[in-house]
Chains A and B, each alone.
Chain A
Amino acid sequence: MLKGHQTWVFETKPTIIASAAVGGPYEANGPLASDFDLLHGDIRLGQDSFEKAEQKLQEQACETAIKKANLKKEDIQFLFGGDLINQIVPSSFSARTLSIPFLGLYGACSTSMEGLSLASLLVESKFAKNALVCVSSHNAASEKQYRYPTEYGSQKPPTAQWTVTGSGAALVADQGEGPKVTASTIGRVIDMGLSDPFNMGAAMAPAAVDTIEAHFRDLGRDPSYYDLIATGDLGRVGHRIAGDLLKKHGLNIPEELLTDCGLLIYSKDQPVVLAGGSGCGCCAVTTFGHFLNRMRKGELKKILVVATGALLSPMSYQQKESIPAIAHAVSIEI
């Protein structure tokens, strides 16, 4: 049911019956390592290209989630997938392996919550009994496409972020045990005219703020309703800006309530990550791994995940276009 301008409230409460997170070597050294179902020491995962490695990440995340739900892949009715690579081939190729009816999505790093919203909508509308969401990103594959070759020695500024190598999958169903998706706020594309691809946090922060404000306005809720409000991949720079911007707009979210997946996934003694994690996989593995685990343990009851995406392409950047950004918020309760 639509509430306010842009928020869907799911009355049947679609349930996340299983979720899985798969990560790479840097994620394995991070503080959330124990929340991953599978960690790889080799960035190539034994494949002959980074793109194939990303496909493998998705396949493993999907297979693990399906297995955890005690189902077979034939039982899954629809698959929503997305990633950052041109024409989202890792998603399409892993959907080929899984042979589940597939809808490909692109929302840059916001794809995880875009997919979760759509899967919940599908289950809510009774067009499906269940739907699987799977998104991924791969550090080297993304660097290759968006920036420079992986081994190229350029000095990155402290505002740059590190693309997460990982894939997260969540299986949404009309019945079962687990955290429930209760509402989704679909974000607008916001462009504040920033054009530095080494500072995506600042470009995405206004989109996150816009969606968070819309969510509380549409539902008439107070931030204290939630135990945790997590943005997707703003990193250290964007997180600080978003926090201050929310205060400036009169929405007082206590500091301990507001966090960011890009901050949580790596520890401070991992210097290569600079301002923190980014990529589709960042929000996906943190939410579908860490947050949902904490909810199942009873540490968290109500969370709001705001996945943020920078909608740029290497070409739009070279053509001196600014970086538009988007954010989708999903409320998960247990």
Chain B
Amino acid sequence: MSIKKKKKLSPTQQEYQQFAQAREPKRPILSNCIKAFFVGGLICTFGQVLQMFFIKYFHFSTESSGNPEVAVIIIITVILTGLGVFDHIAQFAGAGTVVPITGFANTIASASIEHRTEGYVLGVGGNMFKIAGPVIVFGVFSAFVVSLVVISLRALGVM
């Protein structure tokens, strides 16, 4: 708990929170990390195999083979999400499924399925990026800031 947050609490509240915290199970961080490492690693290995497959049999270049590979992983994720399996895998894997493209695909697919009942425009269209939206907004904004820095450095002749 941050100090700022703590200041707002009364002594009784602070005492209770310490009392409660001592009796709460902690997040199993170490085992979560290990699971995430192996599941995430497995997904990426599978991606690598797919890439090699596209290079060997479909004559993609090393750079362009990433595109069909990502598409295949997205399709698999969306199907697993639709079948209601993905959230159970994710409860086990944690960051292992969130960090690769699987996490991003799942946010969009799950939100679309969830809000289908409110119609295609306001439901699916309006809520599809409910969770993925902030990622895109801040991703694009960060890219913008970084490119401004690069342009300025180039103009100054540093780079």
Q: Which residues of A contact B (CB under 8 A)?
A: 48-51, 144, 148-159, 191-194, 199, 202, 205-206, 236-237, 240-241, 244-245, 248, 272, 275
Q: Contact: B23 with A150, CB < 8 Å? A: no
Chain A residues, Cβ within 8 Å of B81: 151, 153
Q: Does B17 contact A (CB under 8 A)?
A: yes
Q: Contact: A206 with B16, CB < 8 Å? A: yes
Chain B residues, Cβ within 8 Å of A272: 88, 91
Partner of A244, one of B23, B25, B87, B109: B23
Q: Contact: B91 with A152, CB < 8 Å? A: no
Q: Does B131 contact A (CB under 8 A)?
A: yes
Q: Contact: B110 with A159, CB < 8 Å? A: no
Partner of A151, one of B9, B19, B113: B113
Q: Contact: B13 with A155, CB < 8 Å? A: no
Measured CB to CB, the nearest residue on chain A to B91 is A155
Total contacting residues, chain B, CB less than 8 A: 44
A82 shortest CB reach to chain B, Å: 22
CA distance A157 to B25 in the complex (A): 9
Q: Does B62 contact A (CB under 8 A)?
A: no
Chain A residues, Cβ within 8 Å of B94: 155
A199-B24, A241-B23, A244-B23 known; A153 and B17 CB under 8 Å?
no
Chain A residues, Cβ within 8 Å of B111: 149, 152
Q: Contact: B19 with A193, CB < 8 Å? A: no
CA distance A155 to B17 in the complex (A): 24
A148-B131, A241-B20 known; A154 and B98 CB under 8 Å?
yes
Q: Does B139 contact A (CB under 8 A)?
A: no
CA distance A179 to B13 in the complex (A): 39
A193-B9, A206-B16, A272-B88 known; A153 and B98 CB under 8 Å?
yes
Q: Contact: A149 with B90, CB < 8 Å? A: no
Chain A interface main SS type: loop
CA distance A237 to B9 in the complex (A): 22
Partner of B110, one of A48, A150, A191, A237: A150
A151-B81, A192-B17 known; A202 and B91 CB under 8 Å?
no
Most B C-beta atoms less than 10 A away, residue of A51, A155, A157, A191: A155
Measured CB to CB, the nearest residue on chain A to B102 is A153
* CB within 8 Å of A: which B97-135 residues: 97-98, 102-103, 106-107, 109-111, 113-115, 117, 130-131
Q: Does B154 contact A (CB under 8 A)?
A: no
Q: Contact: B25 with A150, CB < 8 Å? A: no
Q: Contact: B9 with A152, CB < 8 Å? A: no
Measured CB to CB, the nearest residue on chain B to A47 is B117
CA distance A309 to B67 in the complex (A): 49
A49-B117, A241-B20 known; A152 and B25 CB under 8 Å?
no
Q: Contact: B16 with A153, CB < 8 Å? A: no
Most B C-beta atoms less than 10 A away, residue of A49, A153, A202: A153
Most B C-beta atoms less than 10 A away, residue of A50, A51, A193: A193
B112 shortest CB reach to chain A, Å: 9
Chain B residues, Cβ within 8 Å of A151: 81-82, 84, 86-87, 106, 109-110, 113-114
CA distance A157 to B27 in the complex (A): 6
Measured CB to CB, the nearest residue on chain A to B114 is A149
B17 shortest CB reach to chain A, Å: 7
CA distance A48 to B117 in the complex (A): 7
What are 6 A-B interface contacts by the 8 Å CB criterion?
A150-B113, A153-B81, A159-B24, A193-B13, A202-B20, A240-B23
Q: Contact: A153 with B20, CB < 8 Å? A: no
CA distance A303 to B103 in the complex (A): 47
